[in-house]
Structure 1
Amino acid sequence: MSQSVIVLVGIAGLFILLVKTKIHPSLLFASLLFLFFLLNLIKVEDMLGNFVNPSLVSLILLLVIAYGINKSFLNDYFSRLIIKNHSLPKTIFRLSFLAGGLSAFINNTAVVASFLGPIKANRRFPPSKLLIPLSYSAILGGTLTLIGTSTNLIVNSFVIKEGLPPLGIFDFVYVGLPLFLAGIIYLSLGAPHLLPTIKEKRPKPSRFFLEAKVLSGSRHIGRTVQENNFRNLESLFLAEIIRQGKLISPVTPDEIIQEEDILVFVGEVSQIKDIEKFDRLQVFEEENWKILEKNLVEVILSHNSTLIGKSIKEVNFRARFDAVAVAVKRGEQKLSGKIGSIKLQPGDSLVLAVGTDFGKKEDLSSHFYFVHPLPVAKKLNVQQSLVAISLFLIAIILSATGVISLVKSLMIVLFSYFLLGFLSLEEIKENLHFELIALIGSAIGVAEVMIHSGAAQTIANLILSVFNSFGPWGNLIGVFLLTQVLTLFITNNATAALSFPIAYTTALSLGVNPLPFIMVIAYGSSSNFLTPYSYQTNLMIYGPGNYRFHHYLKTGLPLALIYGIIVCTLVPLFFHF
């Protein structure tokens, strides 16, 4: 069996696993790369060298620096400017312009997370009218610069690996700016009519909790939660206890039950029969809602979380996060059944009853996006914020003008943040995103094997056989369409990794400049407007917006067509064959 056939079989298996399983892409790409290494398809020095690629290092530095900037007043200030008048189109335009502009320089998930709370809290417009425009404009803003999205930096890492001149910070703006302007104009005019009006109703605690008072003489008094079998109910789970007006949350199995305790259960709260079998417990509703409401936090499960595909009970949620899940929602649907048995999926909205140590847990940001962000331990004051923002902007300008490389300028910024106390060593470690390092480093190696084994050439020949009669421009469209189709099934970063070797080899087969093909891969990998699943910001707003799948399709299809026409028309004009 030839090398190209072996690699094609491996790539086909990778694609199937990416689509059909919840295994993290970083593990899948790393496993395939290791298999290629065992088969002597890549040298050890080449394989390890991919993990210190300048673009990969730049991306990780940017993510850490973005956390520092997020501690400044910048995102909070802009998020307060969203709702300023009674015109929905004008509000969407302002929202899209601000979110997209910030996303050109700051990680778009951080931008969407910052805007999510103010949009949910506003009483003028339904969040369902604003959240999809927020996500789409953040995606569009990422196309403006090299650092606007991880996809652009991943593509640049492939470019560097193949010995081509690296892409500049503002090389993307020639096509990205028309995309951005056309996109936000479409969203401002079209979204008010295409998106549903789903009125935001503040849920009462009775939707989440069932309260039962321990009456005098109950045989459960003086025994622990575990001894009373309060954790072995079919449809309910003892989450909290109200004792003398104070809340104990979350409840440990060793907590001793006292007379007059109010036991707070979560799960299928309509299943009162599960409580009636216990001795002298009086069931009632909603008397203590002010106490119960105080420690509720709504989060969205990150697409990078290691909790994906596991049940709440399986991950030992209470002990791990000092919190109890009281409700889980997927899109507009509140999931029923025993909460501990629910298998978590990316984008799930969780309502948590949190304990005092919840905010101190180190790995919260790697698992959750917060609908209403927790207070950062130490926000930067105005003077510190201005210094932090200025240092970042100076680094971008110096890099864009060629005075200093992007990696070096970002290293200087990060070191300055640390020396000035803007970022602690713990915060730096928490934001290193090792799974992203594994994904991109492995993806570069897989792409290299695809090119040198002839596997990419085989796929390129198929594209050439269909589009060759249309010349380079026709093949460019074919590569772009292939990339867009892949984004419907797998993440944007995985799409870029699989598409680049095909596009690069197609250009070489045609004997033309590969740069326009490389650029359509970058733009195409960031063009998922049709589903909530393959792009992280679309997932983030899925639950909070109470959306259904067809809302993305209805609003995103015209935008995808506009996007594709602009990309395929302008890329050859600015990046010649």
Structure 2
Amino acid sequence: MSIDALATLGVIGVVLALLALTRIAADVILMASLATLVVSGILTPGEALAGFGNPGVMTIAVLYVVAAGLKETGAIQWLAHRLLGQPQRLRQAQLRVLLPASGLSAFMNNTTVVAMFIPAIQEWAGRLRLPPSKLLLPLSYAAIIGGTCTLIGTSTNLVVDGLLQSEKGIGLAMFSLAWVGIPVVLIGGTFLYLFADRLLPNRQGVLEQLEQAREYSVEVVVDEKGPLVGKSIADAGLRHLSFGYLADIERHGRLLTAVPPSTELQAGDILIFIGAPECARELRRIHGLKPASGDVHKLDIAHHQRCLVEAVIGPDFGGLNQTVRESRFRSRYQAVILSISRHGKRLPGKLGDLRLQVGDTLLIETAQDFVDQYRYRKDFLLVSALNDSTPPDFRKAPVAMGILAAMVVASATGLLSILEAALLAGGGMLVSRCVPASKARRYVDLSVLVVIAASFALGAAMTKTGAAAQIAQWLLLIDGLAPWAALALVYLMTVLFTELITNNAAAVLMFPIAVAVAEQLGVSFMPFVIAIMFAASASFMTPLGYQTNLMVLGPGGYRFIDYLRLGAPLSLIVGVTAVALIPLVWSF
């Protein structure tokens, strides 16, 4: 083996160790490895930076904008609410999780799908008195396996497809993977349906306790033209919010207290919730509710350009010891006070009559630049925006869904390539104002793109120095190794890499090895490349291998052993199914 090949394997070994054993950011580690390969002369700058111009990487970047449009318009929430429904038993709830989550994740970003489903599942768990641990991990796993059905279902598929295009001049179609992906979903989903209840613990989620949080009173009104009119409190999903509870209903000037969950909502009902500041954010994302404060509608700020902010009154605040009404807060700050908390407890009474004091924490609705404008002024001691608190523009949800459908049809029929269809869809989201350009930029995860693009340099170095061919020889030391056995070995190696490092980096590292194995066996490389796609997505045994697994860790109250207990058999089932079916579709 040449010195360059040894150096390349040394760099890869260090990268794997740092990714698995340290908390250094993955993009920092991968860019450092890229710099090492360039400075040492193993790769030219053009070879090292080729990943940044790969069509797969650009497709992933554009799909972030498409996903942003779906989220900002509430399209995924709208779909989730209708697909999930109102199950009455655990078995029904599990089925309602597995089917829509796996179906939607075939066409949408897995992370976005899981993020939108978590609140609905938490509401179920509260209403049905079920532990969320029985539902949330199956949600993550269903989204992962659902993403294997199409080329855009997961970024890993797009990365490997980009490598195929740049290295071999071959491109996959939108539904090329469905021949294996659909059986994987059916078999893996059946296993989850039958065994998730038995293998997962009966454990509650790690939710913020209201008595330990800053407590507010938040009022919303039932929109007379919205979908909640005539629904019961329970059916509207308002009985078990994650961060608050419904205290009273004001109807026609009369206060209804201790309302039962069967109470039907009427147009104009004012619902009074008590809870943490995140309760206001939850309520803003429910279609059919709008702020009850009359001053909110007087703000000269577009609805979709607002956010929720917490601000602590400082000693130089201009309205000290004045009532909210006397302080002229709205005209002075272009913001509306929704609720006031003092010493961690909400202040009861009519908001306009409450007197403001130093240290009061205000929950306000205002423009998105309020934090930057008042962060360093002495009016407030602390100003903090609530993440993800901009209300969805539900009116544009059908537009966003139409753009997504057009993208899928255009690429599936071969009218446009995946990249071309994604570029047009991303542009459509911006032109139709489903998502503003300023927000679209924030949705593009540059750290993920850097990790993927920089990891291409490692794959290029393995091919150029012969390190990939050497690893392939080590894998084939067994005399007379059959192609299907080599395929299983490549699949297993990819799964191990995926559990230790990121799924995209694992796919890029394994690609040259898989191609080298196929060349030394004298068979087609396609089955091995497809195996990498499925194996790199099959991260079920740890919370760190896939982002959606990490997202459900806290809400489900999971521990590491829970992932191993359910994920290990699922990983085996998915692996056996994929390795058995891949050669039938892509022959050796």
What is the one-letter code of the residue matched to 1:184?
G
Measure the CA separation in 2 of the matches of 1:31 and 1:202. 38
Q: How many equivalent pairs are there?
A: 453
Moved more, 497-506 or 148-157: 497-506
Query: 1:358: which partner in 2?
Result: 385
Q: Is the 8 A contact 1:493 1:525 kept in 2?
A: yes
Q: 1:192 aligns with which of 182, 193, 197?
A: 197
Deviation at 1:561, TM superposition (A): 1.3
**Closer/same/farther in 2, CA of residues 37 and 374 from structure 1, 3 Å limit:** same
Deviation at 1:70, TM superposition (A): 1.7
Query: 2:293: which partner in 1?
Result: none
Question: With structure 1 as the length reference, what TM-score do the two structures score?
Answer: 0.72
In the alignment, structure 1 residue 421 sits paired with structure 2 residue 433: yes
Query: 1:490: which partner in 2?
Result: 501
Q: Aligned Cα RMSD in Å?
A: 3.3
Measure the CA separation in 2 of the matches of 1:259 and 1:428. 39
In the alignment, structure 1 residue 147 sits paired with structure 2 residue 152: yes
Query: 2:45: which partner in 1?
Result: 44
Query: 1:570: which partner in 2?
Result: 581
Deviation at 1:295, TM superposition (A): 6.0
* Superposed CA offset, 1:356-407 (max 9, x none): 6504xxxx5xxxxxxxx6343x5140xx322322222222222222222221
Deviation at 1:165, TM superposition (A): 0.5
Q: 1:399 aligns with which of 384, 394, 411?
A: 411
Q: 2:177 aligns with which of 139, 147, 172?
A: 172
Deviation at 1:423, TM superposition (A): 2.4
**Closer/same/farther in 2, CA of residues 321 and 154 from structure 1, 3 Å limit:** farther
Query: 1:134: which partner in 2?
Result: 139
**Closer/same/farther in 2, CA of residues 286 and 26 from structure 1, 3 Å limit:** closer
Q: Which aligned pairs between 1:322-337 and structure 2 lie closer than 5 A?
A: none
* Superposed CA offset, 1:98-156 (max 9, x none): 01111001100000000111112222132111100110000011101110011111111
Query: 1:313: which partner in 2?
Result: none
**Closer/same/farther in 2, CA of residues 285 and 442 from structure 1, 3 Å limit:** closer
What is the one-letter code of the residue matched to 2:402?
S
Moved more, 83-92 or 171-180: 83-92
In the alignment, structure 1 residue 508 sits paired with structure 2 residue 509: no
Q: Is the 8 A contact 2:495 2:539 kept in 1?
A: yes
In the alignment, structure 1 residue 119 sits paired with structure 2 residue 121: yes
**Closer/same/farther in 2, CA of residues 286 and 172 from structure 1, 3 Å limit:** same
Query: 2:477: which partner in 1?
Result: 465
Q: Is the 8 A contact 1:25 1:439 kept in 2?
A: yes
Deviation at 1:251, TM superposition (A): 4.5
Query: 1:18: which partner in 2?
Result: 19
- Local SS of the residue matching 1:509: helix
Q: Is the 8 A contact 1:206 1:285 kept in 2?
A: no
What is the one-letter code of the residue matched to 2:420?
K
Measure the CA separation in 2 of the matches of 1:166 and 1:69. 27
Q: Which runs of 5+ in 2 are unaligned?
A: 216-276, 278-308, 322-341, 350-359, 365-370, 376-380
- Local SS of the residue matching 1:557: helix
* Superposed CA offset, 1:209-258 (max 9, x none): 79xxxxxxxxxxxxxxxxxxxxxxxxxxxx9xxxxxxxx955489789x9
Identity %: 31
- Local SS of the residue matching 1:469: coil
In the alignment, structure 1 residue 453 sits paired with structure 2 residue 459: no
**Closer/same/farther in 2, CA of residues 320 and 465 from structure 1, 3 Å limit:** farther
Deviation at 1:522, TM superposition (A): 0.8
- Local SS of the residue matching 1:547: coil
Q: 2:546 aligns with which of 535, 538, 544?
A: 535
Q: Is the 8 A contact 1:93 1:187 kept in 2?
A: no
What is the one-letter code of the residue matched to 2:104?
L
**Closer/same/farther in 2, CA of residues 504 and 105 from structure 1, 3 Å limit:** same
Measure the CA separation in 2 of the matches of 1:59 and 1:168. 16
In the alignment, structure 1 residue 546 sits paired with structure 2 residue 546: no
Query: 1:95: which partner in 2?
Result: 97
Q: Is the 8 A contact 1:132 1:538 kept in 2?
A: yes
What is the one-letter code of the residue matched to 1:358?
A
**Closer/same/farther in 2, CA of residues 474 and 417 from structure 1, 3 Å limit:** same
Q: Is the 8 A contact 2:51 2:456 kept in 1?
A: yes
Deviation at 1:469, TM superposition (A): 2.8
**Closer/same/farther in 2, CA of residues 2 and 77 from structure 1, 3 Å limit:** same
- Local SS of the residue matching 1:488: helix
* Superposed CA offset, 1:315-353 (max 9, x none): xxxx99999xxxxxxxxxxxxxxxxxxxxxxxxxxxxxx
- Local SS of the residue matching 1:143: helix
Q: Is the 8 A contact 1:250 1:322 kept in 2?
A: no
Measure the CA separation in 2 of the matches of 1:203 and 1:289. 21
Deviation at 1:78, TM superposition (A): 3.0
Query: 1:229: which partner in 2?
Result: none
Query: 1:263: which partner in 2?
Result: none
Measure the CA separation in 2 of the matches of 1:21 and 1:402. 44
Query: 1:218: which partner in 2?
Result: none
- Local SS of the residue matching 1:513: coil
Measure the CA separation in 2 of the matches of 1:254 and 1:94. 53
Measure the CA separation in 2 of the matches of 1:161 and 1:498. 15
Measure the CA separation in 2 of the matches of 1:289 and 1:131. 36
Question: With structure 2 as the length reference, what TM-score do the two structures score?
Answer: 0.71
**Closer/same/farther in 2, CA of residues 355 and 521 from structure 1, 3 Å limit:** farther
